[in-house]
């Protein structure tokens, strides 16, 4: 119940029940989705460049731009995750979230 009240106050929150869920606010969601739409368009653009035999160096620059955009989505999600799930679960005494987070950060840092 307390959990429910907290969710009403905090739109961006984290469910850690049987089915773990993240709750992004509508604003966060539409920000993430519009970034991903743009990235999808960039990927399609690169396919077109390759089909038209565009000079590789120009295509590589496009790929660097997509990597950077994707990195931006990753950082935004990570920040959101820390500010909701990580804080909530630590406050509930569930420190396992840190182990899980380190595994994810290691993948993102390669």
Residue numbers at the binding site for a copy of itself (CB under 8 A): 14, 20-24, 29, 32-33, 36-37, 39-40, 43-44, 46-47, 50-51, 53-57, 59-61, 63-64, 66-68, 70-71, 73-75, 77-87, 90-91, 95, 98, 100-102, 104-110
Closest contact distance (angstroms) between CB of 70 and a copy of itself is 6
Closest contact distance (angstroms) between CB of 14 and a copy of itself is 8
Q: What is the DSSP letter of 17?
A: S
Q: Cβ closer to a copy of itself: 1 or 68? A: 68
The dihedral formed by the CA atoms of 74, 75, 78 and 83, expressed in degrees to the nearest 10: -150
What does the alpha-carbon distance between residue 28 and residue 24 come to, in Å, rounded to a whole number?
Answer: 6
Q: Chain centroid to CA 13: how far?
A: 14
Closest contact distance (angstroms) between CB of 5 and a copy of itself is 16
Angle at 80 between CA 20 and CA 34, to 5 degrees: 100
Name the helix (H) or strand (E) containing 21. strand 21-23
Q: Cβ closer to a copy of itself: 1 or 110? A: 110
């Amino acid at each position: 119940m307390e959990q429910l009240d907290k969710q009403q106050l905090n739109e961006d929150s984290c469910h850690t029940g049987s089915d773990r869920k993240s709750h992004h606010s509508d604003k966060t969601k539409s920000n993430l989705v519009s970034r991903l739409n743009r990235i999808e368009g960039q990927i399609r653009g690169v396919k077109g460049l390759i089909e038209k035999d565009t000079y590789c160096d120009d295509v590589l620059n496009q790929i660097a731009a997509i990597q950077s955009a994707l990195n931006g989505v990753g950082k935004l999600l990570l920040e959101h995750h820390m500010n909701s799930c990580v804080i909530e679960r630590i406050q509930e005494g569930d420190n396992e979230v840190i182990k899980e987070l380190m595994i994810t950060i290691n993948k993102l840092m390669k």
